Amino acid sequence: GENVEQHPSTLSVQEGDSAVIKCTYSDSASNYFPWYKQELGKRPQLIIDIRSNVGEKKDQRIAVTLNKTAKHFSLHITETQPEDSAVYFCAASKVGGGADGLTFGKGTHLIIQP
């Protein structure tokens, strides 16, 4: 089955700096890669996703890049703010739009230092 690796497990950055979280996946059939933000005790919230026919997607301060050849994708957050502090999970599935179960990475605890 699919295996998703995520790094780093903890990331501390100064407010205003950029944060980058990286994930790799193993199943070349995966073609949907969402990123979730989860605050303690809350449900995961989709912040951005990318499908395999696209190499990059941006939404304001958040961007995701995908390299299908290398089987890795990354989350980029620019101009970080205190409210960006949370745990971020990458995930992969074979069918886009949520019709398939997601395989999650282990998560990255992002800490924004004031």
Partner 1 sequence: GAVVSQHPSRVICKSGTSVKIECRSLDFQATTMFWYRQFPKKSLMLMATSNEGSKATYEQGVEKDKFLINHASLTLSTLTVTSAHPEDSSFYICSATGPYEQYFGPGTRLTVT
| Contact set with partner 1 (CB under 8 A) | 1, 34, 41-46, 49, 89, 97-99, 101-107
Peptide bond into 8 cis (omega under 30): yes
Nearest-approach distance from CB 80 to partner 1, in angstroms: 22
Identify which of residues 16 and 101 has a Cβ nearer to partner 1 in the complex. Answer: 101
State how far the Cα of 72 lies from the Cα of 54, in Å rounded to an integer: 13
Identify which of residues 49 and 84 has a Cβ nearer to partner 1 in the complex. Answer: 49
Instruction: Output the six-digit token pair for 54.
Output: 């696209």
Identify which of residues 53 and 69 has a Cβ nearer to partner 1 in the complex. Answer: 53
Beta strands in 17-114 (DSSP E): 19-25, 32-38, 45-51, 56-59, 62-67, 72-77, 86-92, 103-104, 108-113
Nearest-approach distance from CB 107 to partner 1, in angstroms: 5
Nearest-approach distance from CB 104 to partner 1, in angstroms: 5
